[in-house]
Homo-oligomer: A and B are copies of this chain.
Amino acid sequence: MITVAIAEDHQSLIDGISLLLKYEEGISIIGTSNDGRDLLDIVRLKQPKVVIMDIRMPKLDGIEATKIIMKEFPHTKVIAFSMFDQDQAVIQMRDAGAKGYILKNSPLEEILKAIHAVMQGKVYYDTGIDQRLFDDAFAKAKTPKSVLSKSEREILRLIAQNKTSSEIADIRFTAVSTVEKHRKNMMRKLGLSGKGELLKYAIEKKYDF
């Protein structure tokens, strides 16, 4: 019997998956959740063999939840089920320990295929996903290191709030020129140039995956 738990903030999708698996021989849904934290409780209590995991969810996202599950239940198979097809989304779920990755714009029966594949110890990825992303070396080469230092990241967050360098200097107890030097360093590292580019970058980054 393959026990399955599902985490997905859209209840309509959970219901769809449930309908799909309801009559499947050998598969049993032992719990569903609309957020990552609730899911952990379910996994700890019921210890499903397979978890279908959305990424963007309230309270705890699928990436973090997967890491935690892998630490406590290393034999549980996590299959990502997400609208995100960006490389970084795939890589992060892979690194967290997911054994599969399905896109929401694929047919629902992909989930069934993925469940059977991971139960056979295989890795299952959607045809819309670059298959090389599940290769260790390729994924590692693709993972951007954070080019910004801790201070730089903090300053960038303040810039995203349109704080002036003077205001940021007050907040951080440094000279204005120090903040401006950090700004210059970030411009160089991020390959930006021109007025407003750093502010634009900081604001837009908020909405990136």
Provide the residues of chain B in CB contact with A108, threshold 8 Å: 11-12, 15-16, 19
Q: Which of A99-107, A117-125, A178-186 contacts B (4 or more CB under 8 A)?
A: A99-107
Provide the residues of chain B in CB contact with A83, threshold 8 Å: 10
Q: How many residues of A contact B (CB 8 A)?
A: 33
Is residue A38 contacting chain B, with contact meaning CB distance below 8 A? no
Question: Which of A20, A81, A104, A108 has the most C-beta atoms of chain B within 10 angstroms of its own C-beta?
Answer: A108
Among B104, B195, B197, B203, the residue within 8 A (CB) of A12 is: B104
Instruction: Mark interface residues in A1-18 (1 if CB within 8 Å of B CB, else 0).
Output: 000000001111101110
CA distance A164 to B11 in the complex (A): 46
CA distance A26 to B160 in the complex (A): 54
Provide the residues of chain B in CB contact with A34, threshold 8 Å: 105
Instruction: Mark interface residues in A143-161 (1 if CB within 8 Å of B CB, else 0).
Output: 0000000000000000000
- 30 CB-based A-B contacts, threshold 8 Å: A10-B104, A10-B105, A11-B105, A11-B106, A11-B107, A12-B13, A12-B81, A12-B105, A12-B107, A12-B110, A13-B13, A13-B104, A15-B16, A15-B20, A15-B108, A15-B109, A16-B16, A16-B17, A16-B108, A19-B19, A19-B108, A34-B105, A162-B195, A162-B200, A164-B195, A196-B196, A199-B199, A200-B203, A203-B204, A207-B207
Chain A contact residues, CB within 8 Å of chain B: 9-13, 15-17, 19-20, 34, 81, 83, 102, 104-111, 162, 164, 194-197, 199-200, 203-204, 207
